[in-house]
Amino acid sequence: MKVYGALLAVLAAILNGTVGLFSVSLFQMGMPSEAVAFYKCLIALITIGCLLLVTGQFRAWLRYIRQYWKHTAICAFFGFFVLYYFETSAYQYINVAVVVFCLFGASTVATFLLNAALERRWINRHEMIAMLLAILGLYLVFVDTRALAEHGEYGLFLAVVAGLGYACFLVLTKKLGLGGGLIPVGTLLIFGVVYLFVPFTLQGWSLPTGLGLYFLMMLALLPTIGGFWCTTQSLTLIGSQSVQLIELTEPIFALIIGFIFLGQLVTGPQMLGGGLILLSIVIHECKVLDIWRSTRASQL
């Protein structure tokens, strides 16, 4: 089951890696970030609603909403409003790979600290080393801020806030037992659409057309429905720290996608930062220190 949970987290990372590609394409077409965040959630909500209606799960969805609406409203605030609003805004100022590195770096640190605080325990050595490696990887991304465009520092700030929101979402979803599948994701989307409607209306109405509507549909289907479905499912099988660390592979996929489709490059330090993040995953998930100590003890 743990292997299946890990595979779901990797699949979530691949799907989430497409966010930057489609978001940047929509920005280049003149669509504001508030509209992108709102429309992709609205389209995803309509899609899931139709699927649940066709498959005969609509009544089960209504029962779930009545039972978990308070918990879902809290998780949706962090997982959809804070994550999507600030992440989508960050793509307007800095490149895709940097947004993803900063978002997940901040989220990793916050996830470990929040879990330890809620469980009233100290961070263990595997978590500490994994967290330090993630911080170092994040630092290597920040080193090259000179290469950022004007207002790049503001973009970094937005990405970090999005990461903190995602950390709260992961920890609370696991802690509150929302479960996995289309029904929890659909319920989260209801509140997400409500939250995102506020900045959307304040920014001013804009309607998607043609190619823009296609990109929004891809955002709704791949990262919004697919990514969150995989994430919520993996949270039912493995811990939130494990999900967070494994999803740190998203920068690798975002880097590849950004390079192929957008021509965006990352620097040497940023690539090294990505390598350290991958190393943190191996140390935490494989319990490398325990294996090394047991091997050394058997040799003595």
Q: Please provide the DSSP assignment of 231-276 as one string.
A: HHHHHTTS-HHHHHHHGGGHHHHHHHHIIIII-----HHHHHHHHH
Nearest to 13 by CA among 211, 287, 281: 281
- Annotate 258-287 with b (16+ C-beta within 10 A) or e (fewer): beeebebebbeebbebbebbebbbebbbee
Rounded distance between C-alpha atoms, residue 123 and residue 132, angstroms: 12
Residue-wise pLDDT tens digits, 110-123 = 998 999 898 888 88
Cα 127 from chain centre: 20
Low-confidence ranges of the chain (pLDDT < 50): 147
What is d(CA 159, CA 298) in angstroms, rounded to the nearest whole number?
46
Cβ-proximal residues to 59 (8 Å cutoff; 6+ apart), any chain: none
Count other Cβ atoms within 10 Å, centred on residue 56: 8
Structure tokens at 169: 């979402």
Residue written as token pair 């900063």: 102
Q: What's the burial of 289, exposed, middle or buried (CB within 10 Å: 0-12/13-18/19+)? A: middle
Kindly report, residue by residue over 55-100, the tens digit of the pLDDT: 999 999 999 999 999 999 999 999 999 998 998 888 888 877 678 7
Structural domain count of the chain: 1
DSSP output for 161-187:
HHHHHHHHHHHHHHHHT---SHHHHHH
Encoding tokens for residue 16? 């989430």
> Do the beta carbons of residue 43 and residue 217 sit within 8 Å?
yes
The parent domain of residue 39 ranges over 2-299
**Tell me, what's the pLDDT at 124?**
83
The amino acid present at 259, given as its one-letter code, is F
DSSP state of 29: T
Q: Which of 183, 211, 242, 200 is nearest to 8 (CA)?
A: 242
Amino acid in position 78: F
Q: Which residues are CB-contacts of 209 (< 8 A; sequence separation ≥ 6)?
A: none
